[in-house]
Amino acid sequence: MIEVTTDPIDAQALKNQLCNPGAGGFCSFEGWVRNENEGRAVERLEYEAFEPLVLSEGQQVLVEALQRFPYLDARCVHRTGLLEIGDMAVWVGVAAAHRDEAFKACRYIIDELKIRLPIWKKEHYVDGDSGWVNCERCAEHGRH
Protein backbone atom coordinates (compact mmCIF):
# COMPACT_ATOMS: atom_id res chain seq x y z
CA MET A 1 0.00 0.00 0.00
CA ILE A 2 1.46 3.31 -1.11
CA GLU A 3 0.13 6.84 -0.71
CA VAL A 4 0.98 10.37 -1.75
CA THR A 5 0.00 13.23 0.53
CA THR A 6 0.58 16.92 1.03
CA ASP A 7 -0.02 16.54 4.79
CA PRO A 8 2.72 15.87 7.33
CA ILE A 9 3.39 12.12 7.58
CA ASP A 10 2.25 10.48 10.82
CA ALA A 11 4.78 7.66 11.26
CA GLN A 12 3.19 6.38 14.45
CA ALA A 13 -0.24 5.98 12.86
CA LEU A 14 1.27 4.24 9.84
CA LYS A 15 3.20 1.83 12.01
CA ASN A 16 0.08 0.98 13.98
CA GLN A 17 -1.51 -0.17 10.74
CA LEU A 18 1.21 -2.80 10.40
CA CYS A 19 0.61 -4.45 13.77
CA ASN A 20 0.44 -8.20 13.34
CA PRO A 21 0.69 -10.87 16.06
CA GLY A 22 2.98 -12.90 13.81
CA ALA A 23 5.45 -10.04 13.36
CA GLY A 24 8.72 -10.29 15.28
CA GLY A 25 10.53 -7.50 13.47
CA PHE A 26 9.65 -4.09 12.12
CA CYS A 27 12.00 -1.94 10.06
CA SER A 28 11.25 1.57 8.91
CA PHE A 29 13.05 4.18 6.88
CA GLU A 30 12.31 7.89 6.88
CA GLY A 31 13.72 10.39 4.46
CA TRP A 32 14.22 13.74 6.17
CA VAL A 33 14.88 17.08 4.52
CA ARG A 34 18.45 17.96 5.37
CA ASN A 35 20.15 21.32 5.34
CA GLU A 36 22.79 20.52 2.75
CA ASN A 37 23.21 18.75 -0.58
CA GLU A 38 26.43 18.40 -2.53
CA GLY A 39 27.98 21.23 -0.61
CA ARG A 40 25.13 23.71 -0.99
CA ALA A 41 23.12 24.99 1.98
CA VAL A 42 19.47 24.03 1.49
CA GLU A 43 16.63 26.14 2.86
CA ARG A 44 13.66 23.99 1.83
CA LEU A 45 12.56 21.40 -0.70
CA GLU A 46 9.67 21.17 -3.06
CA TYR A 47 8.40 17.77 -4.17
CA GLU A 48 6.24 17.16 -7.20
CA ALA A 49 4.73 13.78 -8.04
CA PHE A 50 2.58 12.33 -10.77
CA GLU A 51 0.32 10.47 -8.43
CA PRO A 52 -1.36 7.87 -10.68
CA LEU A 53 1.99 6.42 -11.68
CA VAL A 54 3.54 6.80 -8.23
CA LEU A 55 0.74 4.58 -6.96
CA SER A 56 0.94 1.92 -9.68
CA GLU A 57 4.73 1.79 -9.86
CA GLY A 58 4.98 1.93 -6.06
CA GLN A 59 2.58 -0.98 -5.72
CA GLN A 60 4.72 -2.93 -8.18
CA VAL A 61 7.79 -2.26 -6.02
CA LEU A 62 5.98 -3.54 -2.91
CA VAL A 63 5.01 -6.73 -4.75
CA GLU A 64 8.58 -7.29 -5.92
CA ALA A 65 9.87 -6.81 -2.38
CA LEU A 66 7.31 -9.31 -1.10
CA GLN A 67 8.45 -11.91 -3.63
CA ARG A 68 12.10 -11.44 -2.72
CA PHE A 69 11.85 -10.97 1.04
CA PRO A 70 8.52 -12.38 2.25
CA TYR A 71 7.14 -9.89 4.73
CA LEU A 72 3.81 -9.69 6.50
CA ASP A 73 2.84 -6.12 5.68
CA ALA A 74 4.43 -2.98 4.27
CA ARG A 75 3.42 0.60 3.67
CA CYS A 76 4.92 3.63 2.05
CA VAL A 77 3.92 7.29 2.04
CA HIS A 78 5.57 10.07 0.05
CA ARG A 79 4.86 13.69 0.79
CA THR A 80 4.67 16.41 -1.85
CA GLY A 81 4.65 20.20 -1.79
CA LEU A 82 6.93 22.52 0.11
CA LEU A 83 8.94 20.90 2.92
CA GLU A 84 11.17 22.49 5.54
CA ILE A 85 14.44 21.19 7.02
CA GLY A 86 13.67 18.24 9.28
CA ASP A 87 10.35 17.41 7.62
CA MET A 88 9.72 13.82 6.65
CA ALA A 89 9.53 13.41 2.87
CA VAL A 90 9.03 9.66 2.74
CA TRP A 91 8.20 6.84 5.13
CA VAL A 92 8.61 3.12 4.45
CA GLY A 93 7.66 0.52 7.05
CA VAL A 94 7.86 -3.26 6.87
CA ALA A 95 6.65 -5.81 9.42
CA ALA A 96 7.96 -9.36 9.07
CA ALA A 97 8.28 -12.55 11.07
CA HIS A 98 12.05 -11.99 11.37
CA ARG A 99 14.35 -9.02 11.15
CA ASP A 100 16.24 -10.12 8.07
CA GLU A 101 13.23 -9.85 5.77
CA ALA A 102 12.13 -6.63 7.45
CA PHE A 103 15.48 -4.92 6.81
CA LYS A 104 15.97 -6.25 3.30
CA ALA A 105 12.45 -5.53 2.10
CA CYS A 106 12.56 -2.01 3.55
CA ARG A 107 15.86 -1.30 1.84
CA TYR A 108 14.66 -2.74 -1.47
CA ILE A 109 11.52 -0.62 -1.37
CA ILE A 110 13.23 2.70 -0.69
CA ASP A 111 16.03 2.03 -3.18
CA GLU A 112 13.57 1.25 -5.98
CA LEU A 113 11.18 4.07 -5.09
CA LYS A 114 13.97 6.59 -5.42
CA ILE A 115 14.87 5.60 -8.95
CA ARG A 116 11.54 4.49 -10.40
CA LEU A 117 8.75 6.71 -9.10
CA PRO A 118 7.78 9.85 -11.02
CA ILE A 119 8.69 12.21 -8.20
CA TRP A 120 10.87 15.29 -8.56
CA LYS A 121 12.64 17.36 -5.97
CA LYS A 122 13.50 21.02 -6.29
CA GLU A 123 16.03 22.37 -3.86
CA HIS A 124 15.73 25.96 -2.69
CA TYR A 125 19.13 27.12 -1.52
CA VAL A 126 19.93 29.54 1.26
CA ASP A 127 21.54 31.84 -1.32
CA GLY A 128 18.18 32.23 -3.07
CA ASP A 129 18.99 29.99 -6.01
CA SER A 130 17.09 26.79 -6.73
CA GLY A 131 17.53 23.65 -8.78
CA TRP A 132 15.90 20.36 -9.67
CA VAL A 133 17.87 17.45 -8.24
CA ASN A 134 19.35 15.07 -10.87
CA CYS A 135 18.39 17.61 -13.48
CA GLU A 136 20.58 20.65 -13.05
CA ARG A 137 21.99 20.40 -16.52
CA CYS A 138 19.05 18.72 -18.16
CA ALA A 139 17.28 21.75 -19.56
CA GLU A 140 18.69 24.57 -21.61
CA HIS A 141 18.15 27.27 -19.07
CA GLY A 142 19.91 25.71 -16.10
CA ARG A 143 18.48 26.76 -12.81
CA HIS A 144 15.31 28.71 -12.24
Diameter of the chain measured on Cα atoms: 55
Q: Which of 98, 74, 94, 91 is nearest to 25 (CA)?
A: 98
| Strand, coil or helix: 103 | helix
CB of 126 to another protein, least distance (A): 19
Q: Which of 115, 123, 110 is nearest to 36 (CA)?
A: 123
Q: Which does 36 bind (CB under 5 to 8 A by kind): a copy of itself, another protein, none?
A: a copy of itself
CA 26 to mean position of chain CA atoms: 17
CB of 97 to a copy of itself, least distance (A): 7
Contact call for residue 12 and a copy of itself (CB under 8 A): yes
- Bridge partner list, 120: 48
Contact call for residue 125 and a copy of itself (CB under 8 A): no
Q: Which does 17 bind (CB under 5 to 8 A by kind): another protein, a copy of itself, none?
A: none
Which positions touch a copy of itself (CB under 8 A)? 11-12, 15, 19, 21-36, 85-86, 95, 97, 99, 102-103, 106-107, 110
